[in-house]
Amino acid sequence: MLFLLVVILVVLIFDYINGFHDAANAIATVVSTRVLTPRLAVLFAAVFNLVGALSGEAVAKTVGAGLIDTAYVTSLTILAAMLGGIFWNLFTWWFGLPTSSSHALIGGLCGAGLASAAGNWSVIKWSLTNVDPHTGAAAWDGLLPKVVLPMIGSPIAGLIGGYVIMMLLFLIVRKWTPWAVNQTFGKLQLLSASYMAWGHGFADAQKTMGVITLATFAATKAGKLEHLPPLFGFLYTPKFEVHLWIKVACAVVMGAGTWAGGWRIIRTLGHKLITMRPVHGFAAEATGATILLVAGKLGLPVSTTHAITTSIMGVGVAKQPAAFNKVVAERIVWAWIFTIPGSGGLAYLLFRGLKLFIP
């Protein structure tokens, strides 16, 4: 039981790092447009992250039970997966790269699961069709439909959505004075920033909820929690179900991480990609948050970073193609490409190393 508690603590540390690593997703635009000061923006994002994290569990079930075979999952698997994700996040955070914490987590799970299964690739649920026994409805699950295709589709949606919304707004405000545009969208951006912060909590906190649920479920199934003292009865999970204490813990920890801030990445997103005004921030946030809302309802663990960064890029193209910083964008894309294999490789090696000391 003690080891399980250590694993849960490590998952919450990942959740905390996710909060400050991805804080920029929700507040970079509202800071760069000077609608809010950095301190107020971080508080703002933390509150709405908390609300968003308590708003659903479809993504949690996908991450916890839909990507790797739970028969091979142990507490050590979860520990290695989270450490791989943490190390990758800290590495990319140090260089100011807005990589995906979601994909770092997923890569870590796949890498650690592969090591736990002694290199048996079938442990990864690549693609499968599940049929609801009650309704007969079929659902396409697994890594390919739930992660790989959305990983390609959500950036495209961000680029196109940001471009289209920005062009529509240009048509609406073309006869307005610059003062009127800034005043109006300065107020509207408070709504879009709230929406984006809520979407971040809704999308990202669910992923760590799924991992904690997976850890408690695996420990229960392995018979390691049969003689729990009453004080720790909340850890017992006879079926895969996201308990309220897991939702609250992940929500609060992510909010605290967001409060800690992520200023290196804020500078990359908010200042280096394009120069923004409130109308541009509104367009990017509205686009990114809508992608997160739709994906979350479908149980797709898409990247908050991908959604908002490509939305900013789409807005930049609509505003002025020459203003778009291609060098920074290329660095971000390469970081995205290497995230799943990078964190997965780290988790694989960590599992093999830890296995030498932990039975």
pLDDT tens digits along 308-320: 888 988 998 888 7
CB 250 within 8 A of CB 205: yes
- Whether 274 shows a pLDDT value over 60: the answer reads no
Beta partners for residue 139, in sequence order: 130
pLDDT of residue 353: 94
pLDDT, mean over the chain: 83
Go through 122-149 and write b for each residue having 16 or more CB atoms within 10 A of its CB, e for each that does not: ebbbeeeeeeeeeeeeeeebbbebbbee
Neighbours of 177 (CB within 10 A): 9
- Whether 50 shows a pLDDT value over 90: the answer reads no
Task: State what percent of residues in the chain have pLDDT above 70.
Answer: 88
Kindly list the domain boundaries of the chain, sorted by start residue: 2-353
Residue 146: partners with Cβ closer than 8 Å, 6 or more residues away:
62, 66, 67, 299, 300, 301
pLDDT of residue 262: 55
Task: State what percent of residues in the chain have pLDDT above 90.
Answer: 28
- Whether 80 shows a pLDDT value over 90: the answer reads yes
CB 36 within 8 A of CB 193: yes
Higher pLDDT, 126 or 41: 126
Higher pLDDT, 132 or 220: 220
pLDDT tens digits along 102-154: 888 999 999 999 999 999 999 999 887 766 666 666 667 788 888 888 888 98
- Whether 20 shows a pLDDT value over 90: the answer reads no
Mean pLDDT of 202-206: 84
Question: How far is Cα 247 from Cα 318, in angstroms, rounded to an integer?
Answer: 39
pTM of the model: 0.84
Of the pLDDT bands very low, low, confident and very high (cuts 50, 70, 90), residue 46 is: confident
* Collapsed DSSP state (helix, strand, coil) of residue 129: strand
Of the pLDDT bands very low, low, confident and very high (cuts 50, 70, 90), residue 24 is: low
pLDDT of residue 22: 67
Neighbours of 39 (CB within 10 A): 11
Neighbours of 297 (CB within 10 A): 12
CA 279 from chain center: how many Å? 25
